[in-house]
A and B are shown apart, each in its own frame.
Chain A
Amino acid sequence: DSGVTQTPKHLITATGQRVTLRCSPRSGDLSVYWYQQSLDQGLQFLIQYYNGEERAKGNILERFSAQQFPDLHSELNLSSLELGDSALYFCASSGRQGEKLFFGSGTQLSVL
């Protein structure tokens, strides 16, 4: 167990809908990262937060947004969902150094 908690584990929804993925980092970690992993694909960096502030942005679509709350948990909001958004979404957290990332177990999103 990495100490990073992601909910829900599975999510099935329809095109055009909006969903929210939640992540609780390891105790004491200030950084949260979101990654998208499509079938047999790599880990595409979406966005990083540090202590509530956006730190870096990757290939995140405009339909997607995220935030980190004062208690350091983070939410990834995906809207106007398309079939191609179906993927495994991982959250990871790291300490002050921003080095060792610890991943949650992921949220498997299926858009039908």
Chain B
Amino acid sequence: GENVEQHPSTLSVQEGDSAVIKCTYSDSASNYFPWYKQELGKRPQLIIDIRSNVGEKKDQRIAVTLNKTAKHFSLHITETQPEDSAVYFCAARVNDMRFGAGTRLTVKP
């Protein structure tokens, strides 16, 4: 099955700085790449997604880029705020949805 690797495992930034989380996938047939945010004690929630026919997508302070040739995609959060602190998961879909190991983002006020 699909294997998704995610880096870094932890990330600490100062409020207002940018944060970047990177993922790679193994199956070139993967065609859909969502990002989920999981706050402490809560369920994962979809924050942004991108399909394989698109290179970049932006939604306010968050953006995702996809490089199909290199089989990697990234999440960019600009102007980080303390409420952005959470665990972020990338995922890739072929037939089922496989998740990366997660990145614990801490935004210091």
Query: Measuring CB to CB, which residues of chain A are less than 8 angstroms from any residue of chain B?
Result: 2, 33, 35, 41-43, 45, 48, 55-56, 58, 90, 92, 98-106
Q: Are B96 and A48 within 8 A (Cβ)?
A: yes
Interface SS of chain A = loop
Query: Which residues of B approach A to under 8 Å, CB–CB?
Result: 1, 32, 34, 36, 42-46, 49, 89, 93, 95-102
CB distance from A57 to the nearest CB of B (A): 8
Residues of B within 8 A of A102 (CB): 46
How many whole Å from A40's CB to the nearest CB in chain B?
A: 8
How far is the CB of A108 from the nearest CB of chain B, in Å? 10
Q: CA of A41 to CA of B99 in the docked complex: distance in angstroms?
A: 11
> Across the interface, do A101 and B97 meet the contact criterion of CB distance under 8 Å?
yes
Q: Given that A98-B93, A99-B93, A101-B34 are known contacts, is A42 also in contact with B99, CB under 8 Å in the complex?
A: yes
| 5 more CB-based (< 8 A) A-B contacts, given A45-B99, A100-B34 | A2-B45, A42-B89, A98-B95, A100-B49, A103-B44
